[in-house]
Each structure stands twice: as structure tokens, then as C-alpha cells.
């Protein structure tokens, strides 16, 4: 029996995916140090949900890093969020909701924070099935990033190996929702929408469409 309590950082946006990741970690009895980012996103309401979920799942701590916006996206700038009638209509190319360097920046902060807190595992809720096609949500990126921090940090060089875990990477939205359901996630306290107003999701952005289809396939009400 391993009596050592496991610790991990969880990148918690307040969206559906990262909340399910949090529930997975807590199910494994991992002590979670949640982190979120205030980066000028138009869906800042997600941070309120992140706080709620961190509390519900009894995180050891929840740190919100306030960082300067770096621009160039419909999620941060004054650019319309694209809408499509059906999932099939979502264009195949990377959409304007892509935020340049976002997961790179988030994971870099997570790595610095992990090192300073003496934690080796970092969980992130990226998935590459039902997603918006962002290049920084794929396994190849995660693997390369993990290898990078193990050569560019003091602890990495000293032999302490950092691990980036992306437990949802090969799951579709339906599967993710079913895991969350099993783990008692309150989905009404998560925000997937790219363009919410007054705590209400728009229902027509790509992310809302993917979420809706996921619940339909899972045979659940949102």
C-alpha cells in the first residue's frame, strides 16, 4: 500500500472538461492544487465556476493567475465569435477563437508553479476528439512540452521528472460527460461557452454545439 499522498496541479478553467479532470483526480485521492487564469477572456464567468468547483471538490488551494492578455483572438479581442447552425457546418480550419500560445503559456505557468511547490504532476483537460481543432490540444504538443520542462527546470535536471497528464485526450464529449456524471460533477456549474452573457450560455458557438451533442449522445439533460 502506498501511503504517500499524491499531489497534483490541475488546470481548472471552469469548463466542462477541466472540471471532469478535477473529479478524476479527486477520485484517485490526489491532493489537488488548482490553478486558473484571468487573461482577459470574454467568458470570464468561467472563473466563478472554477472557484465553485475547486471548493466543491475540496482542492488544497486554488490560485488564479492574473496575466496580461496577449490578444489576437475572438476570445479576448473585439472580434465576433463565429456561430454555425450544426456541428457539421463547423469549418475544418483552426477558428478565430484560437488564442495564440494559450496552452503553452498556461502550462509554462503550471510548470513554474509545480516546481516552486515541489509537485511533479500537472493535469490538463485537453482533448483532441470533440474540440475546436486548436493545435495546442494534441498529444504531440503535450509530449513535447513534458520533455521540454524536464530539461529546462532545476528539478527536472536533478532527476525529478515532471509529468503532464491529459486523461481526456482520446475521449469524445459523450465519454467525458459520462465520467463526470459518474463522479458527481454538477454540470450546471461549468461554462463551455465562448460568448456567454449574464451567466447564460449562447448555445450557438462551436463549443456550445459540441457540448450539446455530447449531452444528447450521453442521453442526459444538460
**Where does this chain bind a copy of itself (CB under 8 A)?**
65-68, 70-73, 94, 98-105, 108-109, 111-113, 115-117, 135-136, 140-141, 144-145, 147-149, 151-154, 156-157
How far is the C-alpha of 206 from the C-alpha of 199, rounded, in Å?
A: 18
Sheet bearing 31-38, strands edge to edge: 31-38, 7-11, 121-123, 163-165
The owner of cell 532545476 is: 154
Query: For a copy of itself, which is the closer residue by CB, 52 or 65?
Result: 65
Query: For a copy of itself, which is the closer residue by CB, 140 or 219?
Result: 140
Query: For a copy of itself, which is the closer residue by CB, 26 or 51?
Result: 51
Q: How far is the CB of 122 from a copy of itself (least distance, A)?
A: 11
Query: For a copy of itself, which is the closer residue by CB, 53 or 76?
Result: 76
- What are the Cα distances from residue 62, in Å, to 14, 44, 91, 189? 12, 16, 36, 16
Task: Determine the distance from the C-alpha atom of residue 139 to the mean position of all C-alpha atoms in its chain, rounded to a whole number.
Answer: 14
Q: How far is the CB of 32 from a copy of itself (least distance, A)?
A: 18
Cβ contact 176:170 at 8 Å: no
Q: How far is the CB of 105 from a copy of itself (least distance, A)?
A: 4
Amino acid at each position: 500500500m502506498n501511503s504517500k499522498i499524491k499531489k497534483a496541479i490541475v488546470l481548472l478553467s471552469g469548463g466542462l472538461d477541466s472540471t471532469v479532470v478535477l473529479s478524476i483526480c479527486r477520485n484517485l485521492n490526489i491532493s489537488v492544487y488548482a490553478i486558473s487564469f484571468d487573461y482577459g477572456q470574454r467568458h470570464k464567468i468561467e472563473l466563478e465556476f472554477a472557484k465553485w468547483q475547486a471548493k466543491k471538490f475540496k482542492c488544497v488551494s486554488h490560485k488564479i493567475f492574473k496575466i496580461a492578455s496577449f490578444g489576437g483572438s475572438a476570445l479576448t479581442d473585439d472580434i465576433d465569435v463565429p456561430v454555425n447552425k450544426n456541428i457539421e457546418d463547423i469549418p475544418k480550419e483552426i477558428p478565430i477563437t484560437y488564442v495564440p500560445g494559450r496552452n503553452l503559456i498556461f502550462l509554462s505557468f503550471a510548470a513554474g508553479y509545480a516546481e516552486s511547490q515541489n509537485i511533479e504532476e500537472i493535469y490538463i483537460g485537453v482533448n483532441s476528439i470533440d474540440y475546436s481543432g486548436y493545435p495546442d490540444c494534441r498529444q504531440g504538443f503535450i509530449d513535447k512540452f513534458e520533455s521540454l520542462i524536464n530539461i529546462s527546470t532545476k528539478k527536472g535536471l536533478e532527476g525529478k521528472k515532471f509529468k503532464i497528464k491529459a486523461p481526456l485526450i482520446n475521449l469524445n464529449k459523450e465519454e467525458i460527460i459520462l465520467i463526470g456524471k459518474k463522479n458527481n460533477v454538477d454540470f450546471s456549474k461549468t461554462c463551455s461557452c465562448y460568448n456567454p452573457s449574464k451567466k447564460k450560455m449562447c448555445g450557438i458557438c462551436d463549443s456550445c454545439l459540441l457540448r450539446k451533442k455530447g449531452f444528447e449522445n450521453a442521453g442526459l439533460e444538460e
